[in-house]
A and B are shown apart, each in its own frame.
Chain A
Amino acid sequence: VDEGEIRAQVGRARAGGTEAFAELFRAFAPDVERLCRRLLGGSDESDDAASETFLRARRALGSYDATRPFRGWLLAIAAHHCLDRLRRRSTEQRLFVADAPDPEELRSRAPSPLDGTLQAEARGRLLRAIEGLPERYRVPVVLRYYADLDYEAISGLLGVSHGQVATLLFRARRRLRHALASAQGPGAGA
């Protein structure tokens, strides 16, 4: 979608245009829904979270800085909301701290067997592997590589340091490589 057009829509929505906001909703609902699904897992809860995101976004529209991308702003709201839900779900206090590396994970040192030319099937495998990650690794991966948030924003959302974000992402990749390598079996092509 054209960035200028979005800006115009946001302007009209701010002025109280219901139709304009509905347009924005239609344009970005798939993205927001997908982010909620990635963060919360596929459930009724993620649909709720997506709807809630748009309610919050409408209320917060006044504080939106029009010089920043709208998608990023909207996804940050969604991420924030989903993280609240995750925290409520969790019994553990320190949710986003890297745990001790398991020896299996350390063994998969080589860069991923996946390259940029992913076919649909391999893409599906990778997506399932991401979904299979523990929350503490899955969430930063989704925030960084789906919502395109930078480390600063992620560290704000998760309440951890910049360095911790880097560590979580690094460890997440290792786990993914290991998960994929063991699923594919040795010697399987990319």
Chain B
Amino acid sequence: MSCPDEHEYLLYLDGELPPGRVRGLETHLVGCQACRALVVALRDETRALADALHERAPALRAPSAGAAPARGLAFGFPVAIAGAAAALFVGGALVESSLPGGLELLNPLRLKGVYEMAFDVVFALRARAPGLLEFALAVAGVLSVSALGSLGLGALVRRGARGAALLLGLAVPALPAAGGAFETRFDHDTHVRSGEVVRETLVASGDEVRVDGTVQGDLIVFAERVSVRGRVEGGIFAFARELEVTGAVQAGMLAVAERVRVEGGVRGNVYALSETFTVEREGSLGSDATLFGQQAELEGSVARDVVFGGMRLELVGSVGRDLHVLHAHRLLLLEGARVGGDLDALLPEEVEIELAEGATVGGEVTKRSHSHAEAFFARFRAPHFYLLLVVELVAAFAFGVVLYALAPALFASSVPTAGAFLRALGWGLVALVAAPVAIGLTALTVVGIPIAVLGLFGYLTALYLADVVVGALIGRALLEPEAGLGAFARALLVGLAIVVAGHAIPFLGAAVGVVSLLLGLGLLVERARHFRPLRA
């Protein structure tokens, strides 16, 4: 079907097209990217006309009453999936944590059950609809690149399309090159038999991955159950429901899993996000261990420091140096437990360190409380607290001004209605939750690792940028500045001062921070959705 002409789209946007023709037009719009771009451009032009005639600043404009262009199924579907996933996460988290307001939502230590749900969803998809999971991975890759990449590269694309093209040109050939250095096994059941030697890095995915032989490179694995009884001469990067190491790992281990059990030895540093993390009596970790999750039981030995954040830590074995506990509701050192250095625990006021007879701590035992009002207000008396605020303000301000000079459109968002505000918050939440998931999944495809790194960079930038965008929004609403960098800078300074001061408010500061983060991310997402690198 040939495209309807501009004349027709003008009638459509002005709400003057007969209903019968509207249907046909919208059906066409769903499938035609060029026409969607045309409609968006025409609508912007209409707004520009109305703004000029009203002599008003666009930031204060109510949304146009005209028909919104159909965005199309092609875009709506993945967004619906991401939205549903985010809603599941949030719902589950709220029920599980039963917290008022759900402000503790961002605390990953408290999301018991969410781990399980996330794993369930991923593995159910993998088992029942492998095609769908591949599709989701592809969509995640495309989404994370298009949404986050367009933010990060937006300025580059505008300033010099050549630079961005060069970057992309470099990235594309790098993908298969990166993939070539791996041995990949995507079987139902991947088994490296005893005596078998894999001479390079093994990338494996399956219901069950067993390594009884030797892997000379790293082991990168995505599976329901992973057991390493043999030897891995590199490190382990795992996303699994169950991860069991009874063999030897020469380098470190990075695991996101529901349950991790170490019965063998891991030489390098261990980083784990898991519901339970267990080091059995025979198990040993040769370096530092950083463990986040519901609970950890350490019966074996850890050669150096342990950092734990979660609900329950039970130590029966030994920690060579210091034990740092960032958060716990029970901290037990049972008979035979030994900490070579200091024990330093940041615990809620009502929680005590339970030190059994026969447990030894070589250094000092310190308990600090983080919810005590005294401690809470102490920070407001410390001069460096205010110094930090000023540094934060200046850094954000400089960042914002530079960014405005490069890409002023990034700050063109407005929140004219409560609906727009809520919508922005919703997008912010989706971005906050979906982006890391998308980045993680993209990284698991291995060839997507460069994309994931780019995505991660974009994500972190967006997190930082969120406050800057909100600051600019507030400043503009208050000062209604004219065009120009100077006026923008003044407005930004005022807005940022309000945002930074808002963060520092006792008790409410965290809520202000969350709202500001979500709103800023949401506005960025909306800018990215309307971002058009093509200049017709």
A residues apposed to B, CB below 8 Å: 34, 38, 110-124, 126-127, 130, 141-142, 144-146, 150-151, 162, 166-167, 169-170, 173, 176
Interface positions of B from 250 to 298, Cβ below 8 Å from A: none
Q: Complex Cα distance A71/B52, Å?
A: 19
Q: How far is the CB of B51 from chain A (nearest CB, A)?
A: 6
Q: Is the CB of A169 within 8 A of B44?
A: no
Q: Is the CB of A145 within 8 A of B16?
A: no
**B19-58 CB contact bits vs A (8 Å, 1 = yes)?**
0000000000000000000100111111111111111011
B residues contacting the other copy or chain, number (CB 8 A): 33
Q: Complex Cα distance A144/B7, Å?
A: 15
Q: Is the CB of B44 within 8 A of A112?
A: yes
Task: Give the residue name and chain of the B residue nearest to A113 (CB).
Answer: B535
- Residues of A contacting B53 with CB < 8 Å? 34, 38, 127, 130, 141-142, 145-146
Q: Complex Cα distance A94/B48, Å?
A: 29
Interchain CB contact (< 8 A) of B54 among A111, A113, A141, A146: A146
21 A-B interface contacts by CB (under 8 A): A111-B41, A111-B42, A111-B536, A113-B535, A114-B44, A114-B48, A116-B47, A116-B48, A117-B58, A118-B48, A120-B57, A123-B55, A126-B48, A126-B49, A141-B49, A142-B53, A145-B50, A146-B50, A150-B14, A166-B7, A169-B10
- Residues of B contacting A113 with CB < 8 Å? 535
Task: Give the residue name and chain of the B residue nearest to A167 (CB).
Answer: B7
Q: Is the CB of A144 within 8 A of B14?
A: yes
Q: Is the CB of B10 within 8 A of A123?
A: no
Q: How far is the CB of B16 from chain A (nearest CB, A)?
A: 5
Q: Complex Cα distance A116/B49, Å?
A: 9
- Residues of B contacting A123 with CB < 8 Å? 48, 51-52, 55
* 20 more A-B residue pairs beyond the given contacts A111-B38, A120-B57, A166-B10, with a C-beta to C-beta distance below 8 A: A111-B6, A111-B41, A111-B536, A112-B41, A114-B45, A115-B41, A115-B45, A116-B48, A118-B48, A118-B51, A118-B52, A119-B408, A121-B483, A122-B483, A127-B55, A145-B46, A151-B14, A162-B16, A170-B10, A176-B49
Q: Complex Cα distance A127/B532, Å?
A: 25
Q: Complex Cα distance A122/B535, Å?
A: 17
Q: Complex Cα distance A123/B59, Å?
A: 13
Task: Give the residue name and chain of the A residue nearest to B8 (CB).
Answer: A166
Q: Is the CB of B408 within 8 A of A117?
A: yes
Task: Give the residue name and chain of the B residue nearest to A162 (CB).
Answer: B16
Q: Complex Cα distance A173/B482, Å?
A: 26
- Residues of B contacting A141 with CB < 8 Å? 49, 53
Q: Is the CB of B6 within 8 A of A170?
A: yes
Q: Is the CB of A145 within 8 A of B49?
A: yes
Q: Is the CB of A126 within 8 A of B412?
A: no
Q: Complex Cα distance A176/B46, Å?
A: 12
Q: How far is the CB of B198 from chain A (nearest CB, A)?
A: 54
Interface: B358 (CB within 8 A): no
Main secondary structure of the interface of A (DSSP, over half): helix
- Residues of A contacting B44 with CB < 8 Å? 112, 114-116
- Residues of B contacting A130 with CB < 8 Å? 49, 52-53
Q: How far is the CB of B305 from chain A (nearest CB, A)?
A: 51
Main secondary structure of the interface of B (DSSP, over half): helix
Interface: B73 (CB within 8 A): no
- Residues of A contacting B52 with CB < 8 Å? 118, 123-124, 126-127, 130
Number of contacts between A and B (CB, 8 Å)? Answer: 92
- Residues of A contacting B484 with CB < 8 Å? 119
Known: A111-B536, A114-B45, A117-B412. A173 touches B10 (CB 8 A): yes
Known: A111-B42, A151-B16. A170 touches B7 (CB 8 A): yes
Interface: B129 (CB within 8 A): no
- Residues of B contacting A118 with CB < 8 Å? 48, 51-52, 58
- Residues of A contacting B46 with CB < 8 Å? 145
**B400-430 CB contact bits vs A (8 Å, 1 = yes)?**
0000000011001000000000000000000
Q: How far is the CB of A34 from chain B (nearest CB, A)?
A: 8
- Residues of B contacting A162 with CB < 8 Å? 16
Q: Complex Cα distance A34/B42, Å?
A: 25
Task: Give the residue name and chain of the A residue nearest to B410 (CB).
Answer: A117
Q: How far is the CB of B339 from chain A (nearest CB, A)?
A: 59
Q: How far is the CB of A140 from chain B (nearest CB, A)?
A: 11
- Residues of B contacting A176 with CB < 8 Å? 49
Interface positions of B from 484 to 507, Cβ below 8 Å from A: 484
Q: How far is the CB of A124 from chain B (nearest CB, A)?
A: 8
Q: Complex Cα distance A117/B527, Å?
A: 11
- Residues of A contacting B10 with CB < 8 Å? 166, 169-170, 173
- Residues of B contacting A34 with CB < 8 Å? 53-55
Task: Give the residue name and chain of the B residue nearest to A141 (CB).
Answer: B49
Task: Give the residue name and chain of the A residue nearest to B6 (CB).
Answer: A170
Q: Complex Cα distance A150/B46, Å?
A: 14
- Residues of B contacting A145 with CB < 8 Å? 46, 49-50, 53
Q: Complex Cα distance A2/B408, Å?
A: 33
Q: Is the CB of B7 within 8 A of A116?
A: no
Task: Give the residue name and chain of the A residue nearest to B45 (CB).
Answer: A112
Task: Give the residue name and chain of the B residue nearest to A109 (CB).
Answer: B6
Known: A123-B51, A169-B10, A170-B6. A117 touches B483 (CB 8 A): no
Q: Is the CB of B412 within 8 A of A116?
A: yes
Task: Give the residue name and chain of the B residue nearest to A173 (CB).
Answer: B45
Q: Complex Cα distance A142/B48, Å?
A: 13
Known: A38-B53, A146-B53. A110 touches B536 (CB 8 A): yes
Interface positions of B from 53 to 105, Cβ below 8 Å from A: 53-55, 57-58
Q: Complex Cα distance A101/B148, Å?
A: 44
- Residues of B contacting A114 with CB < 8 Å? 44-45, 48
Q: Complex Cα distance A2/B41, Å?
A: 32
- Residues of A contacting B7 with CB < 8 Å? 166-167, 170
Q: Complex Cα distance A120/B487, Å?
A: 12
Known: A111-B536, A146-B54, A150-B16. A120 touches B482 (CB 8 A): yes
- Residues of A contacting B42 with CB < 8 Å? 111
Q: Is the CB of A115 within 8 A of B536?
A: no
Q: Is the CB of A117 within 8 A of B14?
A: no
Interface: B174 (CB within 8 A): no
- Residues of A contacting B41 with CB < 8 Å? 111-112, 115
- Residues of A contacting B45 with CB < 8 Å? 111-112, 114-115, 173
Q: Is the CB of A166 within 8 A of B11?
A: yes
